[in-house]
Amino acid sequence: MAKTLTLSVGLALAATCVSAAEIAPSDVTYEDGAVAQSLSGAAGDATRGREIVGNKSLGNCVACHMISDQAEVPFHGEIGPPLDGAGERWSEAELRGIVANAKMMFDGSMMPSFYKTEGFIRPGKAYTGKAADDTFGPILTAQQIEDVVAYLTTLKE
């Protein structure tokens, strides 16, 4: 994966700290649905990841997944499988691929692609119902993806 890239303005705005090693959404390379390298070039923080996974306006993963470790978060959904033990079922690279763009791992998956900026039909400006504008970026930043991945690897049965 080429690390020399010019970051789009949109991404630069979306990311809190942009490092030179960051891989832009359209430059991510998937191998059998997995992504080997850190998207931000830095390690993830599992504590922050735990917060993102349960937070309605960030990952909102619990909308679709039951996670025993998030018992304090009310209302877990049942659209996808429970994530208990996900850190045992999948490697870090696989988890990164699933969170960045689950459709690469699971063909036609209902799970949203959290690190993708192209190929949408009528993309909107967040939840306003209005058309996307030049603030449009991935749902999660590169570092947030890393944080979520770091958290998921801690989920053991």
- CA–CA separation, 26 and 35 (whole Å): 13
What, of other proteins, ligand HEC, none, does residue 148 touch, CB below 5 to 8 Å by kind?
Answer: ligand HEC
Q: 20-26 — which CB contacts under 8 Å span 24+ positions? A: 22/142, 23/142, 25/100, 25/115, 25/116, 25/117, 25/118, 25/138, 26/117, 26/118
Give the nearer residue to ligand HEC in terms of CB position, either 15 or 99: 99
Shortest CB 147 distance to ligand HEC, Å: 10
Extract the tokens encoding 108.
């036609």
Given the rule CB under 6 A, which residues bind ligand HEC? 53, 59-61, 63-65, 79-81, 83, 86, 89, 95, 98-99, 102, 106, 109-112, 114, 148, 152
Closest approach of other proteins to the CB of residue 124, in Å: 5
Of the candidates 131, 149, 153, 132, the residue with the CA atom closest to the CA atom of residue 140: 149
Among 27, 91, 131, 134, binds other proteins (CB under 8 A): 131
Given the rule CB under 8 A, which residues bind other proteins?
56, 60, 62-64, 66, 74-79, 110, 112-113, 120-132, 139
